[in-house]
Structure 1
Amino acid sequence: MAMTHTHEAPYPKARKRRRHQPRGTLWLPIAIFMAGVIVAGSWVTYILWPRWPAADMAVDAPTLPITVNGVNFNIPPAAIRNKVQRKPGTQERIDLVFLWPSLTPPDPSVKAGPAASAQAIDRVFVTVAAFGNTLPPIERFNTIYPRYLESSISSTPDGLTLRPFRDDSPYKGEDIIFSDRNPGRFMVRCTRDGNSGAAIGMCLFERRVDQTDITVRFPRVWLSDWPSVSEGLEKLIRQIRSATR
């Protein structure tokens, strides 16, 4: 009898393998989705997990390298007014205080009380921040301030020019005071002595340094020796910009 070979047996197995392929394909997107959920959950847990606060920076530590809007500064910790800013690295702004005329940080253990007079104030207050959309000080002097100034002009014996702002301007109660020879060298905007809410007239000195604005606040009475004030402020700016640590 002739033997008959049949190939029917392999076919069911092949069909069985083909039926299993779609199931394996479906598991792939499910696995990817589950992995994404796990990664996202781990990230949220890491962000929200409570942490111990960082140790406070000692005020007598060496100068801190701080970057504001891409500009590097070196600041003594004792000069930083806000405790949360007393750390190295990138910050949006820093608020500082220095003794005048020594330009050294104040002793943090000595609390400054209210000054009895402008002459008794022995500190300058400094803010370093990104300049944002503001014009440089000298451009504001040439293009913005003239719109709001009174027509009157007066000069001081020591070579300064004073122009008051109009009462209907955003700078009501202030004067712009600048060097006759070079406003770019020394120019301040000052409140007047005895104004409501500001018994002691204060001046703002502003300087654009790369991508930051440095603003210094000091008593208006110091303008009686404005060349020394100008020299001291320039020295202070060089001091906090120095690369020497």
Structure 2
Amino acid sequence: MTMAHTHQAPYPRPKRRGRRRPRGTLWLPIALFAAGVIAAGSWVAYILWPRWPAADLTVDAPSLPITVNGVNFNIPPAAIRNKVQRKPGTQERVDLVFLWPSLTPPDPAVKPGPAASSHAIDRIFVTVSAYGNTLPPLERFNTIYPRYLDSSLSTTPDGLTLRPFRKGTPYQGEDIIYDDRNPGRFMVRCTQDAATGTTIGMCLFERRIEQADLTARFPRAWLSDWSTVSERLETLIRQLRGSHR
């Protein structure tokens, strides 16, 4: 007897299900991106949103404590030439102007007219800034200036020593004028008056105050009474330093 073989279909294998990512993982980068967009939008809105400007300091306010390169100064607001600098705290430089010889701040409502001569100028301009890589004035006088000075030497009618700089040097057209007895106390570098009288000679007085440099600019004609100029400059420095002397 022949046995019939019946072909039985194999049982279907169960399909393997792939691992599904947790839904929370898919939303994570989307949430981070959205948070970044919101943060950027908030920052732009903050920058562009109109705000009332802070009230300006009045020029008759008390002296401002201002620090330049770690050196403290007390400066009257009315003497500060640039409005943006009329604030207390640390600043890179401060540009000032004072009436001469009173050393009081000028009235901002009164604008100076054109000066017909150097004697008509009644203001001295002062800058306080970090000294950077420059040498102190007296060290410059002893080591840098001699390379550019002319060999001639003369004495001014008011008793100062004058040495002109040579032509073709960085200081061409200028003179170094100083008190031979004490150059460190009074020494200025001055441009020369034009022969036509159209250009007024100006002098630069420099003083190193710790880590800051004070530079005063005034007409060369004032040197006819240079001892008074020297005394008033020392007074001005004491005023600016205040209790920090």
TM range (shorter): 0.7 to 0.9
User: Which amino acid in the other structure matches residue 79 of structure 1?
Assistant: A
CA–CA separation in structure 1 for the residues paired with 2:226 and 2:107: 26
The residue number in structure 1 matching 2:13 is none
The residue number in structure 2 matching 1:166 is 166
Please identify the structure whose Cα radius of gyration is greater.
Answer: 2
Aligned length: 228
Q: Does 1:201 find its partner at 2:218?
A: no
Q: Which SS does the other structure have where 1:242 is aligned? A: helix
CA–CA separation in structure 2 for the residues paired with 1:168 and 1:176: 16
Tell me if the contact between 1:173 and 1:195 (Cα under 8 Å) persists in the aligned partners: no
Q: Does 1:229 find its partner at 2:229?
A: yes
CA RMSD of aligned residues (A): 2.4
The residue number in structure 1 matching 2:71 is 71
CA–CA separation in structure 2 for the residues paired with 1:193 and 1:51: 50
Change (3 A) 1:87 1:194: same
CA–CA separation in structure 1 for the residues paired with 2:212 and 2:195: 30
The residue number in structure 2 matching 1:114 is 114
For normalisation by structure 1, the TM-score amounts to 0.82
CA–CA separation in structure 2 for the residues paired with 1:222 and 1:215: 16
The residue number in structure 2 matching 1:103 is 103
Q: Does 1:179 find its partner at 2:199?
A: no
The farther-off stretch of 174-183 and 53-62 is 53-62
Over the matched positions of the two proteins, sequence identity in percent amounts to 79
For normalisation by structure 2, the TM-score amounts to 0.82
Q: Which has the higher helix share?
A: 1
Change (3 A) 1:49 1:89: farther
Change (3 A) 1:197 1:148: farther
* Unpaired runs of at least 5, structure 1: 1-14
Tell me if the contact between 1:130 and 1:213 (Cα under 8 Å) persists in the aligned partners: yes
Tell me if the contact between 1:173 and 1:192 (Cα under 8 Å) persists in the aligned partners: yes
Q: Which SS does the other structure have where 2:144 is aligned? A: helix
User: Which amino acid in the other structure matches residue 84 of structure 1?
Assistant: V
CA–CA separation in structure 2 for the residues paired with 1:195 and 1:35: 71
User: Which amino acid in the other structure matches residue 141 of structure 2?
Assistant: F
CA–CA separation in structure 1 for the residues paired with 2:156 and 2:60: 42
The residue number in structure 1 matching 2:242 is 242
